[in-house]
Chains A and B, each alone.
Chain A
């Protein structure tokens, strides 16, 4: 059975203080690993897809990386508007997406 865990559960940063979020996964045949951002009261918003170990994707202050067992979402010099819950998901066969519990990020001004 596919499983996804995320750490930490919650993270509080000062504005400008860089850090990383972790997503560890167990899957039989990774078809893709996905990062989403979710703001309170809204649906998840797609950020990145990673397909193979060694792949990296960047978008503004965010960079996602992938190894064979985990993915990291690096946040460089975060701003208060980066505060949200970040969700990681994996897809193996078909379109069965398994989501992790998320990391709740707070960036203080």
Chain B
């Protein structure tokens, strides 16, 4: 298996622009997670899905953030409009058992 796949790996955008991050989980995994990692706040859980249904989005910082999982093999995290404080590394992870498998992350820079 190729593991969790994320795209793009790097994204540089200007304040106010829409940003869409993409994730393909490991086949057969029924949970998908979106995390954000910064030096100041560490690794924070934003939202997670079970069988494509959002279960807990209490970590989503603002209404500017939204996530979808239209099918078992694809999820998106959208930020609209983006702000400089959204700059971070965003990770997608999936699991079937308690152990999570992380993707390589998307490094987002908002200028």
- From known contacts A43-B93, A43-B103, A43-B105, infer whether A91 and B45 are also in contact, taking CB-CB under 8 Å: no
Residues of chain A from 30 to 74 with CB closer than 8 A to chain B in the complex: 31-32, 34, 36, 41-46, 49
The residue in chain A whose Cβ has the minimal distance to the Cβ of B102 is: A43
**Of the residues A32, A87, A98, A99, contact of B98 by C-beta under 8 Å:** A32
Q: Is the CB of A46 within 8 A of B100?
A: yes
- Which residues of A are found within 8 Å of B102, using beta-carbon distances? 36, 43-45
Tell me, yes or no, whether B12 is within 8 Å of chain A by CB.
no
Tell me, yes or no, whether B55 is within 8 Å of chain A by CB.
yes
Q: Is the CB of A43 within 8 A of B99?
A: no
Q: Is the CB of A49 within 8 A of B42?
A: no
Q: Is the CB of B55 within 8 A of A46?
A: no
Q: Is the CB of B104 within 8 A of A95?
A: no
Interface size class of B (residues with CB under 8 A): 20 to 34
- Which residues of A are found within 8 Å of B93, using beta-carbon distances? 43
Contact with A along B64-108 (1 / 0, CB 8 A): 000000000000000000000000000101010011111111000
Bound: A36/B42 CA distance, A: 14
- Which residues of A are found within 8 Å of B111, using beta-carbon distances? none
Q: Is the CB of A49 within 8 A of B99?
A: yes
What's the dominant secondary structure at chain B's contact region? strand
The residue in chain B whose Cβ has the minimal distance to the Cβ of A43 is: B102
**Of the residues A32, A95, A98, A100, contact of B48 by C-beta under 8 Å:** A95
**Of the residues B4, B43, B50, contact of A95 by C-beta under 8 Å:** B50
- Which residues of B are found within 8 Å of A91, using beta-carbon distances? 98
Q: Is the CB of B98 within 8 A of A94?
A: no
- Which residues of B are found within 8 Å of A87, using beta-carbon distances? 43
Interface residues of A (CB under 8 A from B): 31-32, 34, 36, 41-46, 49, 87, 91, 94-102
Q: List 21 A-B contacts (CB under 8 A).
A: A32-B98, A34-B98, A34-B100, A42-B105, A43-B91, A43-B93, A43-B103, A44-B91, A44-B100, A46-B101, A49-B98, A91-B98, A95-B33, A95-B50, A96-B48, A98-B45, A99-B42, A99-B45, A100-B42, A101-B42, A102-B42
